[in-house]
Structure 1
Amino acid sequence: MVRNLIQGALAGPVGGGVARAVLRALHGHPALKRTNFRGRTVSLAGGPALAAGATAGAIVHRPEHAAAAAIAGLGSGAVGLYDDLVGGRPEHAAKGFKGHLGALREGRVTSGFVKIAGVGAAGLAAAALLPRRRKIDVLLGAGVIAGAANLFNLLDLRPGRALKAGFLVGTPLSATGPLGAAGALLPADLNEEIMLGDAGANALGALLGVAYTAKTGTLGRLAALAGLVALTAASEKVSFTKVIEGNTVLHKIDQWGRKPIEPPVAPPVEKRKPSPYPRG
């Protein structure tokens, strides 16, 4: 009991410290520069920083689940980073599960498909290393881990949104390691200096999926998977951003800490000098 308390107390600082160190090392890398939804230049360094920090914190908190956390966090983060780096190229163009599967039928292996397959494989391997190793439990656990990774990726469309969701989900799970890394990066994310990208959002979701799966049995995993499938299916038809903006409470939470929207600046009116020549 005392050891668990000590590990929990150390996990947050370790996760935050590793996240900050990786962010400092990668922040200025030119290959990681991207433009966010408002046209600001930001760095994708937040993704690998979160993946590394959250994984390190999770390992410190639950050493008995270290292998599962490492596979889920680093595996999901790695394939997410690959998609972040090359996903914008024309040969990888596709949207959603259907788009990536359609491209595969055409003979194109998109970075998005690599990410889907990689996250699924990481989730399956991680679930097999957690308690309750019956086939049904492993399959359900894999679905929860991979589904959570995908859901957090769908949420990462505005500064701070995925990290705030991480706190809402991770706090009742006592996932102090991932939350320590999330807290360390939240100010930079809200200030639009970094973005998580697929690397960070996938890793955070996968690690929270591991934390949930490790605490639940068949029914708990089944309930979570049903919810994740429903939300993922809804995302194909409904914009999460529009739903959040249309709900007063969710909109306030989403806006908390973010930069205010700057009104467009009208171009200066050019004053014409009077002509020296008479009219007519």
Structure 2
Amino acid sequence: MASRVTSSGLGALAARAALAWIRGDQRAAQLERTNFHGATVTLAGGPALALGATLGAALGAPGPAAAAAVVTAGTASGAVGLYDDIVGDRPGQKAKGFKGHLAALGAGRVTSGLIKIAGVGAAGLIASALLARDPGVRAHPGRRDAGALRRTGDVLLGAGVIAGTANLLNLLDLRPGRALKAATVIGAPLVAGRGGAMTAGTLGAGAALLPADLGEEIMLGDAGANALGALLGVALAARTGPFGRAVALSVLASLTAASEKVSFTTVIQDTPWLRAADALGRRPAP
């Protein structure tokens, strides 16, 4: 198992190297988008973060199966997120929220967003099943000698945590730096203790790209936010048993349901301390 410093450093270096490589590609102009300030930014930050965070977290994983869970969650979530980033602006692809994508499906349209949701969910399920096979993951009373039904329930809860965390970070990625700041708050407690190097690798990649995100040079898009959240979800699932996973999933489900009714941006703007934290380090509005 790598140290926290080593995995964090690898995540940071890989993310910066990937960003430079993607931005230097001849097709990089296809990733340019206009942000909420009207500035032109690049979505290159998304795949760069997905790659760097996945490599850093895999290096810090406590065992081979946990490393496989990290690679599955990070790469698959990043890939389907990038697909939605590229295809989602095309005619007939727009839909708001999970209900909107289901409504589009009922009308005979398969949106890129629905493909992303299905892909992240499948990646979470596979990653959770891999975690259950890794002896390096923190053992919990009754997990290994539990019946098949209980083990299946534990895997499903882990899958929900992984997919739910990916979705939460995606919901928050509406302003520069917001998703990376939220990831730091969620991940900081997970850096301590057994398996902390896995989270350190994820956060190291995020820290390396935070200045460019705050400076409105890049945006994470669905590729970066989904991969970042999925990797934090893997770390959280690896540190909790059925009860902890159920609590985490309840919180994630509640926040997701609230997002269908309330704008997180409005809540942040109306809460002074959240507004100050959200604006910290960001460029002022033109």
TM-score (norm 1): 0.90
**TM superposition shift of 1:261:** 1.9
SS in structure 2 of the partner of residue 22 of structure 1: helix
Cα contact 1:83–1:115 (8 A) shared by 2: yes
Does 2:163 match 1:146? yes
Worse-matched range after superposition: 125-134 or 18-27: 125-134
Q: Distance in 2 between matches of 1:135 and 1:104?
A: 29
Cα contact 1:76–1:199 (8 A) shared by 2: yes
Q: Distance in 1 between matches of 2:180 and 2:19?
A: 16
Per the alignment, residue 99 of structure 2 pairs with 98
Paired AA for residue 216 in structure 1: T
Per the alignment, residue 30 of structure 2 pairs with 31
Per the alignment, residue 88 of structure 1 pairs with 89
Cα contact 2:8–2:201 (8 A) shared by 1: yes
Q: Distance in 2 between matches of 1:216 and 1:225?
A: 11
Deviations 1:69-118 (A, max 9, x none): 00101110000000000100112121111111111122211100000000
Does 2:98 match 1:74? no
Match of 1:202 among 226, 230, 242: 226
Structure 2: state its 5+ residue gaps.
Answer: 133-142, 145-150, 192-198
Output the aligned Cα RMSD. 1.0
SS in structure 1 of the partner of residue 161 of structure 2: helix
Does 2:240 match 1:244? no
Q: Distance in 2 between matches of 1:13 and 1:99?
A: 40
Q: Distance in 2 between matches of 1:261 and 1:107?
A: 41
Worse-matched range after superposition: 203-212 or 244-253: 244-253
Match of 1:17 among 13, 18, 34: 13
SS in structure 2 of the partner of residue 91 of structure 1: coil
TM-score (norm 2): 0.88
Structure with more relative contact order (C-alpha pairs < 8 Å, separation 6 or more): 2
Per the alignment, residue 213 of structure 1 pairs with 237
Deviations 1:158-179 (A, max 9, x none): 0000000011011100110010
Per the alignment, residue 202 of structure 2 pairs with 178
Paired AA for residue 48 in structure 1: P
Percent of pairs with identical residues: 64
Deviations 1:186-223 (A, max 9, x none): 00000000000000000000000000000000000000
Number of aligned residue pairs: 258
Q: Distance in 1 between matches of 2:92 and 2:83?
A: 14
**TM superposition shift of 1:67:** 0.5
Q: Distance in 2 between matches of 1:194 and 1:242?
A: 23
SS in structure 2 of the partner of residue 225 of structure 1: helix
Cα contact 1:7–1:62 (8 A) shared by 2: no
4+ residue runs over 3 A deviation:
none
**TM superposition shift of 1:7:** 2.6
Q: Distance in 1 between matches of 2:217 and 2:99?
A: 32
Cα contact 1:16–1:182 (8 A) shared by 2: yes
